[in-house]
Amino acid sequence: MFNLILFGPPGAGKGTQSEKLIEQYNLIHLSTGDILRSEVAAQTELGLQAKKLMDRGDLVPDEIVIEMIRSKVEAGLDANGFIFDGFPRTVAQAEALDILLSNLGISISCFLALAVDEEELINRLLNRGKDSGRADDADENIIQNRIAEYVNKTAPLIGYYKGQGKFKDVVGTGSVDDIFNRLCESIDVLIN
Ligand code: AMP
């Protein structure tokens, strides 16, 4: 299996690029943000609990997202591989993912990090908020909080995956197609 973590701060373009990458490489897209938003829409107990945190731009507890990912991975083992988008977001999540995958006899193949500067992120998110209907994209204070959560809790994953020799950074600015081509170049080196 080819299992990719598509990494980057909020607004880096992980969702957009994941949609293109799953087509190109026939992978399953696992976005914890999307899964959580569907729980919110279905008004499940978990969704109601997560919504308060998501609306503030805080991370939801590790145990919740780890269990969500566990069931999706176990259900998708016949696929070519997974793209993890928005997961892991803490070192504890990364450690749990490594254990989960190794128990299934698979592993992370690479960690591609989209690099975009903060001013551009804020502009992209505010623009997306105009039609995404996402409360967490509509308010600059909430966006700043999401970026702070990223800096404090998520950015340390760069060191974690560098330590495993899996980190590769990719310029995350330019056209959607330019960014996609850069990602494909990095992936093709690994799979050919
Ligand atoms: P995203 O769609 O990836 O921007 O995620 C939207 C929100 O869902 C985040 O701001 C968090 O509140 C929550 N979330 C998504 N993925 C995770 C994760 N792996 N760990 C904790 N919270 C998450």
pLDDT of residue 135: 85
Which ligand 1 atom is nearest residue 57's CA?
Answer: 10
Question: Which residues, 6+ apart, have CB-to-CB distance to 29 below 8 Å?
Answer: 18, 19, 22, 82, 83, 85
Q: What pLDDT does 89 receive?
A: 98
Q: Spell out the domain ranges in the chain.
A: 4-191
Q: For the chain, percent helix, then strand, then coil, each to nearest 5? A: 60, 10, 25
Predicted TM-score (pTM) of the model is 0.96
Ligand 1: which of 38, 59, 134, 141 to mutate, judged by most atoms within 8 Å of the beta carbon? 59
Ligand 1 pocket residue status of 53, Cβ below 6 Å? yes
70 is catalytic: no
pLDDT tens digits, one per residue of 124-163: 999 999 888 888 998 999 999 999 999 999 999 999 999 9
Note whether 65 and 93 are within 8 A (CB).
yes
Q: Give the containing element (helix H, strand E) for 81.
A: none
Mutate to test the pocket of ligand 1, among 5, 36, 122 (most ligand atoms within 8 A of CB): 36
Q: From 3.40.50.300, 3.40.50.620, 3.90.1150.10, 3.40.50.970, which CATH number describes the 4-191 domain?
A: 3.40.50.300
Q: Mean per-residue pLDDT for 76-87?
A: 97
Instruction: Provide the Cα torsion 31, 25, 81, 85; round to 10°.
Output: -20
Atom 8 (ligand 1): residue with closest C-alpha?
Answer: 33
pLDDT at 40: 96
